[in-house]
A and B are shown apart, each in its own frame.
Chain A
Amino acid sequence: MVDLKLPQRNRSTPIVPERSVAGRTLVLLIAIMTFLSGVTLGGVVLVQKSAIAWSSDVGREVTIQIRPVEGEVMESNLRTAVALAEQTPGVESARALTMEESVRLLEPWLGSGLDLGAIEIPRLVVVQLGDPAEADIPKLERDLAAVKGATLDTHAAWRQQLNVMAGTIVISGLLVLTLIVVATVLAIIFATRGTMASNREIVDVLHFIGASNSFIAGEFQGRFLSIGFRGGIFGGLAAILFFVFVAFAVSGVLPNEASQQLGVIFGRFSLGFDGILGIAAVVPVIAALTAITSRLTVRRFLSQAS
């Protein structure tokens, strides 16, 4: 009955006022850090996806090269090589490049308009593999020993170089991410210390009325968690929009040549669902990082103060 006479009150005001925390600046800083993290992570994802796709494409093809050998008939050797390749388990198809195709391949080195009919040039058989894992490449290599001047190129060296390059980019990206995280942590520590100094009166009053350090740290942590989430969401959204914009620019605005060059490294700039999920996952990570860092800083401040 007594309760009915009492005024109804709104939700309790936070003990640490929102405006007393270096809010806007910190939200902006965390948004920028999240954006940089998202862009770095997205870049790494794109490069890795492209490397995997390229490696997979290259891995689905092997090339038989047949050098001219005196006394050997090139066309006959080409047919034998194609037949041997087609008999190999895991091979989907095999095709000898025509003379015209072979000449075109040499154009970047020899120029166009040359009549190469008088000299014999190496010829190539392109072998498409159905499933690279199941293809019996050693058998094909053994069988080709019967064809004079024939050698098998599995592009292993290219693939290895590609993997090394992709790995280097991924590691560099992770290092950049680590630096961003360290910079974020340092910025949060400085912001928290500033906040604690400017809220010294609140901390003292809370201590005098019997609040534990854990309680006080929790009050400040709530503030910083909220700031971390807001900054993280702004930065994460900006990073996703950045990739959407770049994908649009690459496909619609840049000239075809430039678009193709970029496409070699970054594919079609399509992050895919997992890439977007990765950037979205940065948001709670940054928010948690903000909350944990501020809590530890507050606890340290309070233990020094008491």
Chain B
Amino acid sequence: MRNPVIEFSNVGLRYGHGPEILRDLTFKIDPGSFHFLTGPSGSGKTSLLRLLLLSLRPTRGKVSLFGKDVSALDQDSLLQMRRHIGIVFQEFRLLEHLTTFENVALPLRVLGQNESAYRANVTELLDWVGLGERMDALPALLSGGEKQRAAIARAVIGRPDILLADEPTGNVDPELSLRLVRLFAELNKMGTTIILATHELELLEKFDFPHMELRDGQVVFGG
């Protein structure tokens, strides 16, 4: 039996003195799995992803990633762990002054690698996501689908073990949504654990992946 890559135990989250938006979340995610994260707007999908991205700490309970209790980790260890997690946003969040190539290479540049060392990898990945001809274009010149593929490429260039996607198909047409989810599925086949937040129920019907639904601050597994 494999150890879970993500484990929540009685996790609760509130912002300031507000109401608890996530309550008693207890679940495990196996490595190499693919889950859709669903729920109505404001149900806490983004907050759950931020907990997984280590940019928020739970108000109570225990979050473990890769078998480690994240509350016990210092800043450096959190940083090291975050490098094993990729994130894709609905609004892409590409840096507008950098080319597609530079945006995708950013995680490697942050690690101190030279361009000569990563040029081949980045070019190969851009070819794989269909942006080989657009690598010198600035984000402003890319279509919505191209931007999202660039954002996905940036999220996976560092070969993360977990890939989180927050409404990645929210700004693209239905056909492109399907193509993007197929791209995530391809990445999942390579062993990446994927949690994809979406409110598009059609996607859940078209792909045979389990889903976890946030309802009243609690998670319900289905699919």
Chain A residues engaging chain B, CB cutoff 8 angstroms: 2-3, 6-7, 9, 12-13, 15, 17, 20, 201-202, 204-212, 215, 306
Contact B123 A13 (CB under 8 A): no
Tell whether, in the assembled complex, residue B79 and residue A208 are in contact, meaning their CB atoms are under 8 Å apart. Answer: no
Q: List 10 A-B contacts (CB under 8 A).
A: A7-B135, A12-B109, A13-B102, A201-B93, A204-B93, A205-B93, A208-B87, A209-B87, A209-B158, A211-B110
Given contacts A6-B120, A17-B97, contact A212 B79 (CB under 8 A): yes
Chain B residues within 8 Å of A, Cβ to Cβ: 53, 55, 75-76, 79, 82-83, 87, 93, 95, 97-99, 101-102, 106-107, 109-111, 115, 119-120, 123, 135-136, 154, 158
Q: Are A6 and B119 in contact (CB under 8 A)?
A: yes
A53–B53 CA distance with the chains assembled, in angstroms: 70
Q: Given that A3-B120, A205-B93 are known contacts, is A210 also in contact with B102, CB under 8 Å in the complex?
A: no
Report if A13-B97 is in contact (Cβ < 8 Å); known contacts: A3-B119, A6-B120, A208-B53: yes
| Beyond known contacts A12-B102, A205-B95: 14 more, CB 8 A cutoff | A3-B119, A6-B123, A9-B101, A9-B115, A13-B98, A201-B93, A209-B87, A209-B110, A209-B154, A209-B158, A210-B83, A210-B111, A212-B76, A306-B75
Known: A205-B95, A210-B83. A15 touches B106 (CB 8 A): yes
A290 to B51, CA, bound (A): 37
Contacts of B99 in A (CB 8 A): 13
Chain B residue contacts of A3, Cβ below 8 A: 119-120
Q: Is B55 in contact with A2, judged by CB distance below 8 angstroms?
A: no
Taking CB atoms, residues of chain A closer than 8 Å to B79 are 210, 212
Q: Tell whether A2 pairs with B120 under 8 Å between CB atoms, given A12-B115, A15-B106.
A: yes
Q: Is the CB of A210 within 8 A of B158?
A: yes
A215 touches B110 (CB 8 A): yes
| Interface contact A210-B107, CB-CB below 8 Å | yes
Contacts of A210 on B, CB cut-off 8 Å?
A: 79, 82-83, 107, 110-111, 158
Q: What CA separation (Å) do A257 and B154 show in the bound complex?
A: 74
Chain A residues contacting B98 (CB-CB under 8 Å) are: 13, 15
Roughly how many angstroms separate A9 CA and B114 CA in the complex, as a whole number?
Answer: 12
CB distance from B91 to the nearest CB of A (A): 10
CB <8 Å contact, A207 and B55: yes
Which B residues are in CB contact (< 8 Å) with A13?
97-99, 102
